[in-house]
Chains A and B, each alone.
Chain A
Amino acid sequence: MNDGLKISDLHSGYRNKKVINGLSTPLLPRGRITALLGPNGCGKSTLLRALADLNPAQGTLALNGEDLMTLPSVKRAQKVVYLPQSLPQGVHLHALESVIVARRASGVEAGGNVENEAYAILHKLGISHLAMSYLDQLSGGQKQLIGLAQSLIRKPDLLLLDEPLSALDLNYQFHVMDIVARETRQRNIVTMVVIHDINIALRHADYAVMLKDGALVASGIPREVVTPANLATVYGVQGRVEFCSQGLPHVVVDGLTT
C-alpha cells in the first residue's frame, strides 16, 4: 500500500540554518487531514515549504509511490499545491479571476472552460456570491476560502495549508476546517495543515504529526499524539486531555512545566 505521503530522511532549512534534520514519518494517509503540530520555530512551515519545493531539501518524498524529489518543478506543482497564510494586500483582481489564474498560470493544462470550472469550485465552497468581488474587498475568512478554491482548481494530490486559521474567528475556523475535511475526503487527497490550536486539531484532524526542533516527536491519530507527556515535552506546558459532554477531547492547560 503506497497511497499517501511518506517522508523519509528529509533535510531542509535556510541558507545559514538547518531546520529539519533527517525527518521521517509514517505513511500519511489519503482522504485524511493531517495536522502538523508543534511550537513556533519547530519547522512546521519549513516542512510544508520543502514539500512544495519552495525551500531546498534533500531526502525522499514518496507521494502515492512516486518520489516528488525526482520530478521537475512544473510536474511537481501539478501534484502539490501550497497555500500560504495570507494573500498580499491590495490585489485588484476579481475572486473569480484569481481562481482562473491559478489554473491557467503554469500554462501546462487548462483545457475546457476554465471560467465554468472556477465558478463550480466557488459554488461548491459556498462562496459563489463572492465571484465578482475584488480580493482587496474581502475579509480574512473569505480570502482563505478563495485561496482554497485557487488550490483545489489545480486538482492537487497533496494539499498543504500553512496556518489557514490564523486571524480567523471561531465560526470561520470551524467553517474552513469543515470544508477542508469535506474536500479532502471527496477528492481522496493528502492534506497537511499547520494548526496552532490543539483543540481544533483534536476536533478536525484525522491524523497528527508533532514536531520539535525539526524532529518527529509523535505521529498517529490526534488523541494518541496529544498526550500530557507530549504536551510537556513539546510545548513545555502541564496539560490534561478532558472529554466534553459530547465525548470530544479537548486540552486544558494548568500551567507551565517547571
Chain B
Amino acid sequence: MSSPLTASVKPDASAVASHYRKILLRRFILAAAITLLILLSLILDFTLGPAGLSVTTLWHTLFDAASADAGTRVIVWELRLPFALMAIVVGLGLGLAGAEMQTILNNPLASPFTLGVSSAASFGAALAIILGLGIPGIPDQWFISVNAFVFALMACFILDGISRWTRVATSGVVLFGIALVFTFNALISILQFVASEDTLQGLVFWTMGSLARASWDKLAILVIALLIIVPLSMRNAWKLTALRLGEDRAVSFGINVRKLRLASLLRISIISALTVAFVGPIGFIGLVAPHISRMIFGEDHRFYLPGSMLIGALVLSMASVLSKNIVAGVIIPVGIVTSLVGVPFFLSIIIRHRGTL
C-alpha cells in the first residue's frame, strides 16, 4: 500500500546509527568549544578592565604571587579572580535553573527572573538595606544575602504551593510567577518611597545585579551547591527529556512526574536563590541560555542541561567583560548589560513561539 508516511527507500540501520553517533560526537565537540571560549573570556575578564593587566603579569601573580607587588596581588586575588570566576559560576547556575524551569513548567518564558524569584530576593534585600530587617544573629557581611536568599526561596515555595493548591496547568504557574513579580516590585516601591537617600542608593545599586559583590566565601558556597545539585539534575536527564514529550506520556512511561517536578523545583530554588542573593538580580541569563542550548544541542537533557550551563557561563562572562569596557574606567553593573542584550533575544523568543505561548 502506498502512503506518504513511509518511504520506499529505507536507510540502512548502520547508516542511521553512524549518523546518530556523529550527532553525539558533534555535541561533545561543541561543548568542548564552548568551554574553550569560556576560558578565553575568563582571561579577557582577568586582563581587561579599569586597571589593565597583561597576561604575563596575571600569570606571575597567579602562580608566583611572591614575585608580584602587593597592589597587583590584591587586584588579581581579591578583585579580578573572584569577580571573573563568579561570572562563570553564576552563569552555570542560572543556565541550569532556567533550563530545568522551562522543562518542568513546559514554558519557554520560564526563568528565575520572569517567575518572580529575583524580585522576591530584591525585596528581601530591600528589607535588610532600608529597614534593617532580617534574621537576627547573621554577620553583617551576610545580612543582605541571607535575607535575599530566604525571600527567593520563599517565592519558589509560594509558587509551588499556589500551583498545587489551585491545581492549575503549568502555563498557569508562569502567570502566578508574573503576579509575584508585580507584587514584590510594588512592595519594593513602597520601601523605596520611605527610604532615606543613602539606603535608597544602596538598594538601587543592589537591584542592578553586580558581580562586584563576589567573594571567595560566596564563590565556595555556590560551587559546593552546584557540585551537589548538578549530578542530581543529570541523574534525572532521561526523565526530564521524557517530560518534554508531554506529562501524560511521561506518566505512561512510569515516571512519577509530581516527584520529578518537586525535586527539580527544590534544586532550582536553591540555585536561583543563592545566585540572586550573592550577586543580585541578573536578568535573561536563565532565559536565553536554555534557548541557545536547545538550538545547539537539542532537548536530550544529557546535553541540553550542561549545554545551558556552559552557555550561561559564557554569556555572563562575556557580559562581565563588556561591563568593564563599554565606558572607560567604569564598571557598569553586569545586570544592566545582560538586560540590554537579553531584551531583543526575549522578543525574538516570543515571536518564534507565538503559536505555543
Cα distance A87–B244 in the bound complex, in angstroms: 9
A120 touches B13 (CB 8 A): yes
B19 touches A132 (CB 8 A): yes
Chain A positions within 8 Å of B136 at CB level: none
A97: interface (CB < 8 Å): yes
Stretch of B71-79, B111-119, B120-128, B294-302 that contacts chain A: B294-302
Stretch of B4-12, B154-162, B310-318 that contacts chain A: B4-12
With CB as the reference atom, state the residue of chain B lying closest to A131: B16
Pick from A49, A91, A107, A128: contact of B245, CB below 8 A. A91
Chain A positions within 8 Å of B7 at CB level: 126-129
* Chain A 64-97 interface residues, beta-carbon cutoff 8 Å to B: 73-74, 76-78, 80-84, 87-94, 96-97
B6 touches A73 (CB 8 A): no
A131 touches B242 (CB 8 A): no
B6 touches A127 (CB 8 A): yes
A129 touches B9 (CB 8 A): yes
Cα distance A101–B300 in the bound complex, in angstroms: 9
B254 touches A73 (CB 8 A): yes
| Total interface residues in chain A, CB < 8 Å | 58
Chain A positions within 8 Å of B19 at CB level: 131-132
A44: interface (CB < 8 Å): no
Q: Is the interface of B mostly helix, strand, loop or mixed?
A: loop
Contact A73:B249 (CB < 8 A) given known A119-B17, A172-B5: no
| Total interface residues in chain B, CB < 8 Å | 42
B255 touches A106 (CB 8 A): yes
Chain A positions within 8 Å of B3 at CB level: 126, 171-172, 175
Contact A90:B356 (CB < 8 A) given known A96-B20, A105-B239, A116-B17: yes
A187: interface (CB < 8 Å): no
B133: interface (CB < 8 Å): no
B298 touches A94 (CB 8 A): yes
Chain A positions within 8 Å of B207 at CB level: none
Q: How far is the CB of B11 from chain A (nearest CB, A)?
A: 6
* Chain B 37-60 interface residues, beta-carbon cutoff 8 Å to A: none
A93 touches B298 (CB 8 A): yes
With CB as the reference atom, state the residue of chain B lying closest to A53: B251
With CB as the reference atom, state the residue of chain B lying closest to A76: B254
With CB as the reference atom, state the residue of chain A lying closest to B295: A92
Cα distance A59–B300 in the bound complex, in angstroms: 38
Chain A positions within 8 Å of B6 at CB level: 125-127, 129, 175
A84 touches B5 (CB 8 A): no
A104: interface (CB < 8 Å): yes
A200: interface (CB < 8 Å): no
Cα distance A107–B259 in the bound complex, in angstroms: 15
Shortest Cβ-Cβ A-B pairs, 3 listed: A77-B254, A106-B254, A126-B6
Which positions in A face B, CB cutoff 8 Å? 15, 49, 52-54, 73-74, 76-78, 80-84, 87-94, 96-98, 101-102, 104-108, 115-116, 119-120, 123, 125-129, 131-132, 134, 141-142, 145, 147, 150, 154, 171-172, 174-176, 178
A/B interface sample: 9 pairs, CB < 8 A: A54-B251, A77-B252, A83-B249, A97-B241, A101-B253, A106-B254, A115-B17, A119-B16, A142-B5
